[in-house]
Structure 1
Amino acid sequence: MLLAAGAGRRMGRPKALVELAGEPLIVRALRTLAEGGATPVVVVLGARADDVRALLPAGVSAVEAPDWHEGMGASLRAGLAALDGSGSGFGTDAVVVHLVDLPGVPAAAVVRLAAVAGRDVLARAAYGGRPGHPVLLGRAHWPGVRKAAVGDAGARGYLAGRQDVVLVECGDLADPDDVDTPEQLAAFRERRRRS
């Protein structure tokens, strides 16, 4: 699942529509999930949903979070509801939740995280031992995550302090920094140019 509903106020436009090397971040993030073996892929839309939807490749399911302006929690609730809905046809035991503003996270991180998937599993990519994204949520946890997902914290409240969250080290694979502002995007571009 890709969360891509925000307005990107600090960026000046929805981050899903921001381009990096001529490619919208939404396309880059969806490719990361697909190449990482995450299927089916569901993207949660909100701000400028029609503009973002026009960029989606075939085979990607889109769901709109009507209360997207409340923050990431609303997007996560909407995405889990779509995956959990009766007759949805998704039938998955776990979901990898990725964010549109993490262009430095490659498919290899998704593969590594998905390797621990299971109905009762909670896992997070870690960078030098520090928890980050993407996050893997086993289906058994979806009701609790949906209840706890408020504001801009997403699953953070549900995961906080739990001893059963598996940390999957991805620091050797990824740049975990998000790009919330034009300055952060420019810094990311510069790091990529130098590497």
Structure 2
Amino acid sequence: MSAEENIAVVVLAAGGSTRLGRPKQLVEFNGKHLLDHALDKVDLLGFQTKILVLGAKREEIMDKIDSNGFKVVVNTHWEQGMASSIKVGLEAAMAEEEGLDHVLFLVSDQPFLERTNLIKLVHAQLTKNPKATYSKYGDSIGVPAIFSKEAFPLLMQLEGDEGAKKLIHLKDFDYGTEVFSKGGFDVDTEEDVQQLKQMDV
């Protein structure tokens, strides 16, 4: 994406999908597992450092997805919540690439994620240089989101089920947003899966 900036990408896919009762990473949409869909979009961007964080049902997931090109790391504390996966992913990214400037975080259950969403996020981050740029959908902001190295220590302080959105409430935390109109649709329940099947093309 940019020769001047070292950017790593971390795909967070360690959760237990407790509300769904089976790994949502493996839910199929348009003939592809949701996690493979996310990995494919990342592959199109040509990042050097690509991290995939797995946890629950990792053997089953690894058997069914193509993680080629990604360094797979395991969050053994995935039950503690999203913060633990963010930290595992960030630590792995920093270990892989010295002098890391930014980390882009994605999740595996946004079926309408497109390459252009990621390109807009990265472009906004590199041109405006805030501590973070989040995706905006409706009244919410969230992932995908990209963070500058100034935000890394703050990400490492997250606890439990806290996601990186918590940082926006910190004093002096400047951030931007990019619209991802379909980003609010994610897969948490069987109803979501059935709704997604209706949209399958």
- What is the TM-score of this pair, normalised by structure 1? 0.86
Which residue matches 1:26?
A: 35
Q: 2:12–2:106: 8 Å Cα contact kept in structure 1?
A: yes
Report the number of matched residues: 188
- Post-superposition offset of 1:144: 1.1
Classify the secondary structure of the residue corresponding to 2:155.
Answer: helix
Output the aligned Cα RMSD.
2.1
Cα distance in 2 for residues equivalent to 1:129 and 1:69: 28
TM-score of the superposed pair, with normalisation by structure 2: 0.83
Whether 2:162 is the aligned partner of 1:146: answer no
What secondary structure is seen at the aligned counterpart in 2 of 1:115?
helix
Which ranges of structure 1 fall in alignment gaps of 5 or more residues?
none
Q: Residues 64-89 of structure 1, C-alpha deviation per residue, up to 9 Å, x if partnerless? A: 1110111111111100111123xx23
Assess if the C-alpha contact under 8 Å between 1:40 and 1:90 holds in 2. no
Identity %: 27
Quote how far apart the aligned CAs of 1:146 are.
1.1
Change (3 A) 1:107 1:39: farther
Equivalent residue for 1:43? Answer: 52
1:184 maps to 192
Aligned-partner residue type, residue 62 of structure 2: R
Instruction: Report the residue type matching 2:52 in the other structure.
Output: V
**2:62 pairs with 42, 50, 53, which one?**
53
CA shift, 1:176, in A, is 2.6
What letter matches 1:185 in structure 2?
A: V
Q: Offset of 1:158 from its aligned partner?
A: 1.9
State whether structure 2 residue 5 is matched by structure 1 residue 4: no
